[in-house]
Amino acid sequence: MKVVNLEGKKVKEIDLPRQFSEPYHPNLIKRAVLVIQNNKRQPYGTAPRAGLRYSSTLSKRRRAYRGSYGKGISRTPRKVMWRRGSQFGYVGATAPGTRGGRKAHPPKAEKDFSKKINIKERRKAIRSALSATFNLDLIKKRNHQIPIEFPFVIEDKFESLEKTKDVENILNKLGFEKELKRCEKKKVRAGKGKTRGRKYKKKTGPLIVVSKDCKITKSAVNIPGVDIVNVKNINAELLAPGTHAGRLTIYTESALNRMEKEKLFAK
């Protein structure tokens, strides 16, 4: 694999770590991503007593006071709204079909969405997603705008960039200009999600993998669509957003060296 400098010129050739030799396993990648997404789900549900916070016990015995026997009404649970002697005004309550009643099958906050995955499966999925980041056919299927010279690895000076403007300029020089323009576009989401903190739908752009917590982790974070991650924190969802592998990924040389030296995600 060729290593390029910040100007986009070839500097040298290196061998990829053995983690990139894993065959493509779409089903395994999908399983690993869904496990991450399920474990991030926030519990939600109705109040346990919603629709049940008043008395609607109505006797159906023949001579019960305030009973519904002989009134010519159905056996729906009811509450008393008014009374005139031994006459009562009833309104349906509690039952799912009544106004103000409980929901039939509401979402319950105690439901557990979490899932597990075997360690070897998870690592195999990550290795498979890593190898897919250099598969041009899979990258094109994700609608990424691929630079002409891709794939390549970038030199370590890239990690020391302090300003967002500098990072954008370097990415443009490397051929990611069309990709960054694609990620700038966003549209208003259809549906109720607009009121729930996710008003806009945004594109997923390049992933930058670095060797450590460096200056670029703060400078690149504001570029739309771009994610940046320490090589030891890579997971299947970052490499295959939406369970679809082949994300356009930029690795620094030291990130690959660390992956090989520390045997990250290896068998």
Is 131 a domain residue? yes
**Residue 22 sits in a domain of what CATH number?**
3.40.1370.10
- Is the Cβ–Cβ distance between 76 and 95 less than 8 Å? yes
Is 255 a domain residue? yes
Is 75 a domain residue? no
Is 142 a domain residue? yes
- Give 15's DSSP letter: P
Q: What residue numbers bound the domain in which 166 lies?
A: 2-44+115-261
CA distance 129 to 125: 6
pLDDT of 54 reads 84
Distinct helix (H) and strand (E) counts, the chain: 8, 10
pTM for the full predicted model: 0.86
Is 55 a domain residue? no
pLDDT of 71 reads 87
CA distance 187 to 190: 9
For residue 69, the SS3 value is coil
Domain count, the chain: 1
Surface-to-core class of residue 209, CB atoms within 10 Å of its CB (0-12 exposed, 13-18 middle, 19+ buried): buried
Kindly provide the residue ranges of all beta strands, DSSP E only, lying in 24-126, ordered along the sequence: 78-84, 87-92
- Backbone φ and ψ for 87, nearest 5 degrees, come out as -100, 140
Is 102 a domain residue? no
Is 78 a domain residue? no
Contacts of 195 (CB under 8 A, 6+ apart): none
CA distance 241 to 44: 24
Query: How does pLDDT run along the chain (267 residues), one tens digit per residue?
Result: 999 999 989 999 999 999 999 999 999 999 999 999 999 999 999 999 999 988 888 888 988 888 888 888 898 999 999 999 888 999 999 999 999 899 999 999 999 999 999 999 999 999 999 999 999 999 999 999 999 989 999 999 999 999 999 999 999 999 999 999 999 999 999 999 999 899 999 999 999 999 999 999 999 999 999 999 999 999 999 999 999 999 999 999 999 999 999 999 998
Is 90 a domain residue? no
Among 243, 241, 246, 244, which Cα is nearest to 227's?
A: 241
- Is the Cβ–Cβ distance between 252 and 209 less than 8 Å? yes
